[in-house]
Amino acid sequence: TSGNPQFFFGSDSAPHLRERKECSDGCAGIFTPGPLAISLLAEIFDREDCLNKLENFVSRFGAISYDLPFNKEKLLL
C-alpha cells in the first residue's frame, strides 16, 4: 500500500512449470484463486485508505517493470 513502484502484484497462478514452483529456489508467490485476489486486495487497500493506489499495484507497476504494455480491459469493483 506504499505506492512504491518496486512493489507490484503477482499471483501464484502464473504459468510457471511445476518444477520451478516446487523447488528450493522456486518462483515466489502466494496462491490465491484468481477471482478472489482482486477483491481481497481491494478490501485491504480500502481498509488502509489507499484504494487510489490499487490500480498501479495490480496493473501498472508490474507492466512497467517487465516492459510490457498496459492492459486495455478495465475491471469494475
* Catalytic (active-site) positions: 12
Give residue 37's pLDDT.
Answer: 85
- In the predicted model, what is the mean pLDDT of residues 65-70? 93
Confidence of residue 12 (pLDDT cuts 50, 70, 90): low
How many Å apart are CA 6 and CA 15, to the nearest integer?
22
